[in-house]
Amino acid sequence: MNDTNWWQRFYARWFAGGRRLDKGSEVAPFNSVHTPSGTAVTAETALKLSAVWACVRLRSQTISSLPLNLRTQDNETAHEHPLQRILHEAPNADMTASEFWEAMLVSLDLWGNAYALISRNRTGQVISLDVLDPSITTVKRAKNGEISYIIGDSVYHDDEVLHIKGFTMDGLVGLSPIRYQAGVMGAQIEANTAASHTFGNNLKAGGFLQTGQAVLSDEQRTRLRASLEHFSQPENAGKFMVLEAGMTVATNAVKMNPADAQLLESRYFGIEEICRAFGVPPQLIYHTDKASSWASSLEGMNLGFLMYSLRPNLVRIEQAIKKKLLNPAERAKYTPKFAVEGLLRADSHGRANFYMSALQNGWMTRNEVRALEDLPPMAGGDSLTVQLNLTPLEQLGENNENQSNPI
């Protein structure tokens, strides 16, 4: 037991969550990590950072707002399939689809794993999905490779739990961003704490008082310290303190600039580090400076955010649903799909250009466009159309000749 490395491995495995799920082992959920300075970083303390809150909220609410439908081979919505209602409307009796997926994505971003209990009827059809607490869920793998999930005294088989993994090393369990970025988040917590103490003291730094050759008694020192403590309160800012018995201030460092102590710089840089960990452009959480502006490149930024930050999670969710909630025969007929076009709803100009391209190039009908805009279908709107001026060069003039010389 004198092996310090053994204790480090034990602590990392049981309190910080494991990295790999080998046969005959189990991975406990992420709990907390202590930084070298002693700050405990947990999902709760990390979420108290405004940057973490904003990144997790943005990612979870953006994905949960996207329509999720079960599609047929003809790319039609499978309204007749029971799973369509669960995915698109209400996964359980207590949550809407948006609320359910928001909770799942929050678990994914904080703990690296999201779990939902699958309830089936006697015929094996999925009838509900209930979110499980990732902070108390342990994943166990038997020596034969069978995976189970332990929550308190309950043990669930692999086919009873919808498990969505984040960034993973072994494909079986996800890695918690909070655990691996604990140093960054711990430094941000410490910087915020230091800034709070600094501003709580009215930006006053400590100094020295000279009493000359006189030596104060214990009672005088106690009274002087009490007077100094009272004077340093924020409500006494700007007031004058009386120095008695020939006392003089031995330092001019009465005021401290937080920029000189690099508090503002460290907090500013910490926000960018947190955004980098979650794959969120800083401008999308309203972290800007004089040299950057998100308004001029919003469309490109949204596209990059969709491609490099959201799309990996969208694909993971779609594939997990197909594997766990559809039987082998149904997997060849149905595919769950997020409608990322919903991200264009806030951009009328981009949405108009998207629809124009779809209609003029013949890969969407007018009724399909109207359905995306929540408008009723119109007569004659189911035909695919293309521009007539998109004619091969060798066929130029043929239409005019046919019209002038009708058969």
pLDDT (tens digit per residue) in 19-48: 789 999 999 998 888 887 778 899 999 999
| Mean pLDDT (whole number) for 53-65 | 95
Query: What string of DSSP letters covers 106-168?
Result: HHHHHHSEEEEEEEE-TTS-EEEEEEE-GGGEEEEE-TTS-EEEEETTEEEEGGGEEEEE-SB
Could you tell me which residue, 320 or 387, shows the higher pLDDT?
320
Q: What is the largest CA-CA distance in the chain?
A: 123
| Mean pLDDT (whole number) for 99-109 | 97
Q: Which range (72-76, 87-91, 132-136, 311-315) has the least confidence?
A: 72-76
d(CA 361, CA 390): 9
Which residue reads 């408008």 in tokens?
A: 375
Q: Give the number of C-alpha atoms closer than 13 A to the C-alpha of residue 355, restricted to the C-beta side.
A: 18
Residue in 77, 92, 173 with CA at minimum distance from that of residue 130: 92
pLDDT for the residue numbered 394: 66
pLDDT tens-digit series, residues 145-180:
999 999 989 999 999 999 999 999 999 999 999 999
Is pLDDT of 222 > 50?
yes
Taking CA atoms, 132 is separated from 13, 108, 113, 149, 253, in Å, by 21, 12, 10, 11, 54
| Mean pLDDT (whole number) for 64-85 | 92
Q: What does the DSSP 8-state code read for residue 261?
A: T
Q: Which range (55-64, 123-132, 229-238) has the least confidence?
A: 229-238
d(CA 280, CA 268): 15
d(CA 287, CA 275): 10
Query: Helix (H, G, I), strand (E, B), or coil: what is residue 67?
Result: coil
CA angle 113, 118, 123 (to 5 degrees): 155
Could you tell me which residue, 235 or 224, shows the higher pLDDT?
224
Q: Distance between terminal CA atoms of the chain? A: 99
d(CA 233, CA 146): 62
- In the predicted model, what is the mean pLDDT of the chain? 81
pLDDT for the residue numbered 318: 96
Question: Are the CB atoms for 227 and 255 separated by under 8 Å?
Answer: no
pLDDT for the residue numbered 393: 58
Query: What string of DSSP letters covers 174-188?
Result: BPPHHHHTHHHHHHH
pLDDT tens-digit series, residues 358-388:
888 888 999 888 887 767 888 988 888 887 7
pLDDT for the residue numbered 215: 73
Is this structure's pTM higher than 0.85? no
Q: How confident is the model at residue 254 (pLDDT cuts 50, 70, 90)?
A: very low
